Amino acid sequence: MKVLHFYKTYYPDSIGGVEQVIFQIATGVADLGVSTKVLSLSSRAEQQPVDLGSHMAYKAKLDLQIASTGFSLAALRMFRNLAREADIIHYHFPWPFMDLVHLASRLNKPSLVTYHSDIVRQATLLRFYRPVMHRFLRSVDAIVATSPNYLQSSPVLRQHRDKTRVIPIGLDKIPYPIPSHATREKWRQRFGERFFLFVGVLRYYKGLHILLEAMKSAPYKLVIVGAGPVEQELKAQAERDGLDNVFFVGAVSDEDKVALLNLCFAVTFPSNLRSEAFGISLLEGAMYGKPMISSEIGTGTSYINIHKKTGLVVPPSDPPAFRRAMDQLWRNPEQAKEMGYEAEKRYWEHFTAKHMAEAYNDLYIQLLDERIGQQVTY
């Protein structure tokens, strides 16, 4: 079976949450006999496809970008050529240009779309795009939501519920590095073993300004791993409020990240807007057996973190509530330890890359069987 994924950005020139999901799917289904190609846009398009081991990445030249949407004339031609060789077309939403390419190509191939997130920020443009979006979603054979929470809360998915199913995002723990003794000691010497941790790109919807507000006069440390667009604003806020218990360490290597996950007391995830559709770094906390604190925003974060079982879930944009949750875990280390145990157990039961790959492989087979059945009936 041959599958073509289509998304606006991909490895090796872009590393993000959707890219990681595509990589995990492509790597996982390779073990099940599926051949995968990924087409994306690049400002420095390569002449030759990139071999990523389990699959190939193709690049089309990015011509124009408007409101986070990349456009490419070369992508239309490349997509048609690659799609002819594929048995299944796998899209990743949102990306309006992708919808147009799909509709213009008029392919007679089984297709599905993984629905990663509603369009949240570009509300004005959404009014013009909405008819195209719904036409695209009606035209594909299946839609995949990444959590039951998102399926229930998304006004878009509710309109296409009859063709939508849930396949949670999964991670493979095996490729994560085991930190050396020297790396662990480096961070232990700096922060000890009882600190709260945040890992992620520093974006507007991550809610870190709320977390910093909650840290005022806190008797514990917070370590923030990552860089991003609002980094300087957050550092200015921390300096203005005299938060000498908050430490920005920037982007770190995977080995350093795992060392900090191993050492930390609990993982914080204060995202307060629906732009945070799942929360892969929150899932990494569960994978390493850490209790979690997150906000209820109606997305996959509350599917990963079950209130009072794997951690605590608080109202969004509520610094006092977040502080109370941090205090509760800090004062009850045995409760926190038990929540961490339940978090890791839930990871192994629901969120491994193997589970995700097998579910997508089953869906691919189903879509092919249905298409063959339609042709036979015809």
| Residue whose C-alpha is closest to residue 196's, from 231, 134, 243, 139 | 243
pLDDT of residue 378: 47
Q: What is the pTM of this model?
A: 0.92
User: What confidence category does residue 69 fall into, taking pLDDT thresholds of 50, 70 and 90?
Assistant: confident
Average pLDDT value over all residues in the chain: 94
pLDDT of residue 126: 73
Cβ count within 10 A of residue 219: 9
pLDDT of residue 46: 66
Question: Residue range 287-311: average pLDDT?
Answer: 97
pLDDT of residue 45: 67
Domains and CATH numbers, the chain: 2-172+353-377 (3.40.50.2000), 181-350 (3.40.50.2000)
- Tokens 């794997």 -> residue: 310
Q: Is the pLDDT of residue 167 over 90?
A: yes
Q: Is the pLDDT of residue 40 over 90?
A: yes
Question: Residue range 126-147: average pLDDT?
Answer: 93
pLDDT of residue 162: 96
Identify the residue with better confidence: 187 or 126: 187
CA dihedral angle for residue 61, residue 10, residue 267, residue 219, rounded to 10 degrees: -30
User: What confidence category does residue 356 fall into, taking pLDDT thresholds of 50, 70 and 90?
Assistant: very high
